[in-house]
Amino acid sequence: MFIRFMKIWVGGAILIALFVCGVGAPWLAPHDPQAQTLEDRLKPPRWMDSGSPAYLLGTDNLGRDMLSRIIYGSQISLLVGTATVILAGFIGCALGAAAGYFGSTTDEIVSKISEIFLAFPFLLIAIAIMAFLGQGLFNLIFALMLSRWVQYCRVVRGEVLSLKERDFVTAAKALGGRDFYVLLRHVVPNTFSSITVIATFAMAVVIISEASLSFLGLGVPAHIATWGSMLSEGRSYINRAPWLTIFPGMAIFITVFGINLLGDGLRDIFDPKLRRQR
């Protein structure tokens, strides 16, 4: 029990820190993340060189402050992760609930569409969409949303297939409840625990996907600071200035680790088998 709640506390604290950095970036960042100071280019972190006290995490190849860019990079990860999870969750849950509850032709159509998307790796789908649409924040969210809705759809469909046979659903129908009312009022709310767990794990995957696309040059425009683009820029200087890749990589690792901890803790709490073992 203690370990389960520790996962939630630690993971939640990391996720809250991400939100604080993203929302408070203009006040937390010590420098303008786009300001170039060429005479200070490739300055090491403060503890490695007492001659660069103004830069806690050093500077990049254009003299931009690494700490400020990492803080501002959290905005993109936060925005893309949250927007993608919400949009993909809404579409996937709506289609999955409709397929599971109404069955027949609706179920067959939704199942075939989801199978088409499952036939390709989700990151490959995102790369193809971004290559076709071009760089842009909204294009990035759209591409990741199209590649992530299937997981919600299949889980919700399976749960709705089971729930619609329960006595409380039969009773609601017998009392005159219309299909959409019964579905929205009695069936879908009982899937929220599974949706919450899926959403937490999906957010971690989306953040990695966003960093991967930015690393490949297919994410947001190059002038916007993102952790993936910082990794891409720093790989050319990995021997001379390893901090250019270490710190953005650590930011991605800690964020994904925290979100996975939170998701694992929520799964332990919501899983009925684990609840019976307490």
With a cut of 90, say whether residue 71 has pLDDT above it: yes
> In this structure, is residue 246 part of a structural domain?
yes
Q: Is 259 helix (H, G, I), strand (E, B) or coil?
A: helix
> In this structure, is residue 117 part of a structural domain?
yes
3-class DSSP string for 171-225: HHHHCCCCHHHHHHHHHHHHHHHHHHHHHHHHHHHHHHHHHHHHHCCCCCCCCCC
Prediction pTM value: 0.88
Averaged over 9-33, what is the pLDDT?
90
Which DSSP letter does residue 44 get?
P
List, in sequence order, every residue forming a beta bridge with 59; answer none if it has no partner: 65
> In this structure, is residue 21 part of a structural domain?
no
> In this structure, is residue 86 part of a structural domain?
yes
Q: How far, in Å, CA of 192 to CA of 205, rounded?
A: 20
The tally of domains found in the chain comes to 1
- The range of the structural domain enclosing residue 134 comes to 70-276
Which of residues 95 and 274 earns the better pLDDT score?
95
The residues, any chain, with a CB within 8 Å of residue 53's CB and separated by 6 or more, are: 46
The residues, any chain, with a CB within 8 Å of residue 232's CB and separated by 6 or more, are: 214, 215, 216, 217
pLDDT in tens, 235-273: 889 888 899 999 999 999 999 999 999 888 887 777 655
pLDDT at residue 89, rounded to an integer: 93
> In this structure, is residue 34 part of a structural domain?
no
Averaged over 27-46, what is the pLDDT?
88
Query: How sure is the predictor about 178, in pLDDT bands with cuts at 50, 70 and 90?
Result: confident
> In this structure, is residue 129 part of a structural domain?
yes
**Residues 100, 164: contact at Cβ < 8 Å?**
yes
% of residues, the chain, pLDDT over 70? 94
pLDDT in tens, 200-222: 889 999 999 999 999 988 888 87
pLDDT at residue 217, rounded to an integer: 86
pLDDT in tens, 75-123: 999 999 999 999 999 999 999 999 998 888 888 999 999 998 888 888 8
* Range 122-128, long-range pairs (CB < 8 A, 24+ positions): 122/147, 122/148, 122/209, 123/147, 123/209, 123/212, 126/209, 126/213, 127/213, 127/216, 127/218
Query: How sure is the predictor about 1, in pLDDT bands with cuts at 50, 70 and 90?
Result: low
- Whichever domain contains 169, its CATH number is 1.10.3720.10
> In this structure, is residue 234 part of a structural domain?
yes
